[in-house]
Amino acid sequence: MPEPLTKETVDSKTDPSVSTQWDESTPKAEQFQELYKIADSMKSSLLTTIRPNIGPVSRSMAVAKRVGPDFLYLANIHAQKFEDLKENKTVQITFQDSSTQNWISITGEATTTDNADPRIKQIYSKGVNAWFGDLGDGIHTGMPEDPRMTLIEVKAKYIAYWKTTASSVGFLKEVTQASLTGKVADTGVNRQLFEKDIQEARDSSS
């Protein structure tokens, strides 16, 4: 149900759309499990790097594997994002599901490896070669042994996400009712996970 907007909320300069849905009571273990469920349901993300003299630059990338709160991507070493990462290893990963309104925002640090990383063969899947091409020289084949194929590993440092608690019909009903009554829509839970929480989750999943 929509929540009333109070004078206290306005006077404290609080965003009611955030404070109404903020969730600090759910156990962290449960928060991580629900985070993983949302992330695993969305195979593609936006990976944002910081480009010198430009700023944030994003591109859509398929997640090759999630390992606890961290994410692995297969990528072409010739891509501009590797030049970005030489200058600044801070990245952001975002997911959004337009059908449920669920979203995830992850700030982390990226490390890159060369083609010798054994994890490349472990997480390679059919179809990846479509993004590399085959030169026909037996080397640049788009397969796991292709020297262009490398790994980007993003270790999370801060995670924020929102999980809907309403159906599609319920979401529209809630927003409409809030708009008509002057109340604040309450359609889900907003959560944040800090570095200490993330390290504990990483340790428990290793």
Rounded to a whole number of angstroms, the distance between the first and last alpha carbons of the chain is 40
Burial of 68 (0-12, 13-18, 19+ CB in 10 A): middle
* Residue 12: pLDDT band with limits 50, 70, 90: confident
**What is the reported pTM?**
0.88
Q: What is the CB neighbour count within 10 angstroms for residue 8? A: 8
* The dihedral sign for the CA sequence 76, 80, 81, 87: positive
* Residue 1: pLDDT band with limits 50, 70, 90: low
Q: What is the CB neighbour count within 10 angstroms for residue 136? A: 8
Strands (E), 83-122: 90-96, 103-112
Cα–Cα distance between 33 and 151 in angstroms, integer? Answer: 25
Strands (E), 38-98: 44-51, 55-62, 65-67, 70-76, 90-96
pLDDT in tens, 136-194: 999 999 999 999 999 999 999 999 999 988 767 776 776 777 677 776 666 789 999 99
User: Which candidate, 197, 179, 188, 193, places its Cα nearest to that of 22?
Assistant: 188
With 80 as the cut, is the pLDDT of residue 2 above it?
no
With 70 as the cut, is the pLDDT of residue 120 above it?
yes
Contact 64, 39 (CB under 8 A): no
pLDDT at 148: 97
Q: What is the SS3 assignment for 159?
A: strand
Contact 19, 204 (CB under 8 A): no
Average pLDDT over all residues of the chain: 91
